[in-house]
Structure 1
Amino acid sequence: MIIKSKPILKDNENGLYLVSTPIGNLKDITFRAIEILKKSSYILCEDTRVSKNLLDKYDIKSKLISNHKFNETKNLNKIIELLKSGEIISLISDAGTPSISDPGAILVNECIKNDIKIIPIPGPSAVAAAVSISGFSEKFFFYGFLPDKKQNLLNELKKLSKFDNSLVFFISPKKINKVIPDLKTNFSGRKIVFCREISKLYEEFIRQNIDDLKPFVKEPKGELTVVISEKKKDKNTSQVLSESDKIIINKMINKLSIKEITNFINHNRDISKKEIYNYCLKLKNEK
């Protein structure tokens, strides 16, 4: 009899722990995240006032070090020395997963250079939450925050519009109305979902066709996570039948009508009905 041993979580190892925190509702935190934060000698956070709300709720007494985009480089040597001395240090952001559109990447790369162990503690993600409720393709490209400068923004949106899959980005409520005309220019024919206050009391998902977009009458509250649908494909200009398609049709030709086969293949593959119909007709005539 073979007894499989349970995997052991090495959560007592010295190193840098990247701990995901709630994006709104403070209950959206894992047991493991709480345990790691309690074991940490220091917790690096963006805004100590924001983090303190979470830490107080779960009676976490670890020392806080302010670590935001304006001082993360200045903090670097001090934190690396603490890690080298054997301390357990956690990095958190105000919400979500650190180092993704938040401070952290600089420290992570310095840890890699110094062969310091980095351990991710997964958890809440505004990106995953937004894509999951969008109804769009689960294949997506995440951009992060859009550029501020107008020309850079126009260049990036033009590039992003060429991707076939869904697109996710963050934007502040103060900038959304300025971007709407450019979204309509570059993503015509697609759908969009504006997600705000995810998991909070005033959670809201605004769904629209991009061609129908109008500026917000009132500035929305809270940072927006925006999802744009995948590019709509024109089936009539798609590829020809592949060998595997032909094999499937050969197996179906004596069991189903040409119309049924045509509809089935067309539904599952981006091939014109005429192409499928003509091939089926050719097979029928050969038999």
Structure 2
Amino acid sequence: MIIKSQSLTKDNEKGLYLVSTPIGNLKDITLRAIETLKKSTYILCEDTRVSRILLDRYEIKSRLISNHKFNESKNLNKIIDLLKAGEIISLISDAGTPSISDPGAILVNECVRNNISITPIPGPSAVATAVSISGFSEKFIFCGFLPEKKQALVNVFNKVSKFDETCVFFVSSKKVNKIIPELKKNFSGRKIIFCREISKIYEEFIRKNVDDLEIFNKGLKGELTVVISEKQIDKNRSQELSESDMSIIKSMINKLTIKEITEIICHNKDISKKEIYNYCLKVKNEI
């Protein structure tokens, strides 16, 4: 990893800064984030009441502009004009990284079209945090917030469940019980972890097997980050050699060793090495 000296970073450029804020514990903010917010003329935020708690904690006096999903399009021209005039503007969300399942993408794309500098200030991420403590594969698919309508939800789960990788999504605690039947239907055989209040005093990680899921009786609060494990391979079940596999083995039998052939055939298929070995011997004996 190469760490640039402060003088070589973009921190003194005019333009838009996407600043990550704590996902719970207010101490989880970087020094660079604090510096950036203090030097900003304006800070765009989802809820000024929520952001003011963080800003007051670190004595940040920059002017706030309410910028949420219901008014971000309306604000767009005004903000672009301010950026073109040379103002430094930061964009934050209530928690985490802006424009990831939060407002920001519309403004970012407009800045790109207008050749306005955009600088990310990285920080806490509920997704990375949840995956890191899950114990599941680090290769994951992130689905953001689940759709509201049932058919749209069914379509998402049908699609995502076909992938082998870990799956991550956000869901409101008020809606979690509604998705449990679909989870059991689509992700049978996998493990799951519900992460709530990450980095806060009531932080909780609920680990279950998907097949053992039941409706939550106790009242959960807030938004949940949910991680489903990668697809499990049943080592007691293996595929059989297909006609295509047999043809490939015959074409390679005089060119490669049995070990090399076995590695090639097993690369993308769960076939018993013993079965491949025995078939290779059979082909050799027939030559």
Q: Smaller-chain TM-score range?
A: 0.7 to 0.9
> 2:140 and 2:196 mapped to 1: Cα distance?
19
Change (3 A) 1:248 1:117: farther
- The correspondence of residues 150-165 of structure 1 with structure 2, limited to 5 A, is 150-165=150-165
The reply on whether 1:237 has 2:239 as its aligned counterpart is yes
> 2:153 and 2:100 mapped to 1: Cα distance?
20
What secondary structure sits across from 1:237 in the alignment? coil
- The correspondence of residues 72-87 of structure 1 with structure 2, limited to 5 A, is 72-87=72-87
Residues 166, 227 of structure 1: 8 Å contact kept: yes
- The correspondence of residues 128-277 of structure 1 with structure 2, limited to 5 A, is 128-235=128-235, 236-237=238-239, 249=259, 270-275=270-275, 277=277
Task: Compute the displacement of 1:249 (Å).
Answer: 3.9
Question: Which region of structure 1 is more displaced relative to structure 2, 94-103 or 151-160?
Answer: 151-160
> 1:55 and 1:82 mapped to 2: Cα distance?
22
> 1:59 and 1:275 mapped to 2: Cα distance?
69
Change (3 A) 1:33 1:73: same
> 1:152 and 1:73 mapped to 2: Cα distance?
25
TM-score using structure 2 length: 0.85
Give the number of equivalent residue pairs: 270
Structure 1 gap ranges (5+): 251-260
Partner of 2:48: 48
1:112-166 per-position Cα deviation (integer Å, ceiling 9, x unaligned): 1111111111110000000001111110000001110111111111111111101
Change (3 A) 1:278 1:139: same
Matched residue type, 2:25: N
> 2:32 and 2:281 mapped to 1: Cα distance?
62
What secondary structure sits across from 1:69 in the alignment? coil
Task: Compute the displacement of 1:233 (Å).
Answer: 2.3
Residues 142, 168 of structure 2: 8 Å contact kept: yes
> 1:32 and 1:276 mapped to 2: Cα distance?
57
1:227-269 per-position Cα deviation (integer Å, ceiling 9, x unaligned): 00111124512887998xx76947xxxxxxxxxx99xxx9xx9
- The correspondence of residues 120-131 of structure 1 with structure 2, limited to 5 A, is 120-131=120-131
Partner of 1:255: none
> 2:41 and 2:272 mapped to 1: Cα distance?
63
TM-score using structure 1 length: 0.85
Partner of 1:88: 88
Residues 249, 280 of structure 1: 8 Å contact kept: no
Change (3 A) 1:199 1:5: closer
